Structure 1
C-alpha cells in the first residue's frame, strides 16, 4: 500500500466517522490540560451570542448532553436544583446540546421554558450551529461535564454521571 493510499484511507475513515456522529464529531479531539482556559463560543438556543470568556470571574460548569441520552435527561433536575441553590453566587451552568438535530434541542428547551421556573434554567448552546466552536474534545460518553475556576481555567472533568463531589468542589472554588 502506498503512503498516499494509506493517508487517503485514514482520512476517508475519519470523514465517515465524523459524518456518522454528526455535530459531536466536529468537536476537537483533545481536552485542554488542567489549568488551561478552554474555548466555547456560539449562539444560545435563544439566538444570543455566547462566549465562555465573558464568564471569567465565575465558577462555571459546562455540561455536554443530548436529548437521546437517558442519563443526561435524568440529571437535568439535579443540574437545575444546583443552579437554584447557587443563585446569588458567582456560578454559572452552561449546557451544550450535542443532538444531531437542532429541533430536538429547541423542542426540549421549549418544554423547559414552559415547565421550569426561571431560577432553575441555564444557558444552552447547540454544537451543530455553524459558528459553534469549542476546545473541550468531548468523547462519545455523555453527559460530560467540565469544571472551570474563576480564571476560566479547566479544573476537573467528569464523564457519565456527575459525582456529588463535583458540587463540593464548586463550593471550594467559590
Structure 2
C-alpha cells in the first residue's frame, strides 16, 4: 500500500467518533511499523488516553541538557557519552508519571553496572514540589534506585529539546550522544529491549 493510501486511511479516521479514534490509533501504529509515520505524527493530535508512541526523533539529533541536580551538583548530558541514556520529562502533578516511577526505578536498578543512565527532568512550576517529592523518595527508596533528577525551572537549566505538551515524554540516547527514539506518554516496555540492544 502506498504512502497516499496510508495518509488517506489516517485522514478518513479523523472526523470519526470514539471508534474512529481507535481506528486512527491503529492506523498510526501500522504506519509506525512500516516506518512511514514520521511526517504524519505531527498532524495527529495527542491521545487523551494512554499514549505509547515511539518514533525516531529527527528534529534534534544531538541533545544538550545542562544545569544543576536537585541536590545542587552541576550536570551536563554530554558527560554521559559512552552510556545509553533515557531522558524522562515528568511532573509531580502528573498521575501517569508518578504511577510509572516505581517501574522505572526497578528497571534502573536492574541495569546497575551497565553503561546506562536515567535522567529525569521535572517540569513542575515550583521547585518545592520536586524537593518534597525527592525527600520522600530518599526516605523510602533504595539508593540503588535513585537517579539523576533536575528541575527545568532552575536558572542554570538549559536544553534544546523544546517544550512537551504531553507528559511523560522521553528520549532514548545512544552511546554516541544521538537521539534514537522519542516516546510520548508512558515509556513502552519495548524501550527496555531497545536499551538492551544499544548496550
Fold shared by both chains (TM-score > 0.5): yes
* Secondary structure in 2 matching 1:158: strand
Q: Distance in 2 between matches of 1:95 and 1:133?
A: 14
The alignment status of 1:152 with 2:177, answered yes or no, reads: yes
2:97 corresponds in structure 1 to 72
* Secondary structure in 2 matching 1:103: helix
1:124 corresponds in structure 2 to 149
The alignment status of 1:135 with 2:166, answered yes or no, reads: no
Q: Distance in 2 between matches of 1:171 and 1:35?
A: 23
Q: Distance in 2 between matches of 1:61 and 1:33?
A: 17
Contact 1:64/1:96, CA 8 A, preserved across alignment: yes
2:34 corresponds in structure 1 to none
1:81 corresponds in structure 2 to 106
- Provide runs of 4+ in structure 1 moved above 6 Å: none
Q: Distance in 2 between matches of 1:92 and 1:155?
A: 15
Larger Rg: 2
Equivalent of 1:49, from 74, 82, 88?
74
Contact 2:60/2:161, CA 8 A, preserved across alignment: no
Q: Distance in 2 between matches of 1:92 and 1:42?
A: 16
Q: Distance in 2 between matches of 1:97 and 1:60?
A: 16
Q: TM-score, normalised by structure 1?
A: 0.80
Q: Distance in 2 between matches of 1:135 and 1:106?
A: 24
Q: CA deviation at 1:131?
A: 1.1
Q: How many residues align?
A: 144
* Secondary structure in 2 matching 1:125: strand
Higher RCO structure, 1 or 2 (CA under 8 Å, sep 6+): 1
**RMSD over equivalenced CA pairs, Å:** 1.5
1:98 corresponds in structure 2 to 123
Q: How does 1:6-21 map to 2 (within 5 A)?
A: none
Consecutive unaligned residues of structure 1, counting only runs of 5 or more, are: 1-31
Q: CA deviation at 1:161?
A: 0.7
* Secondary structure in 2 matching 1:67: coil
Per-residue CA deviation, residues 112-157 of structure 1 (Å, 9 max, x unaligned), is 0010000001010000001100111132100001000000100001
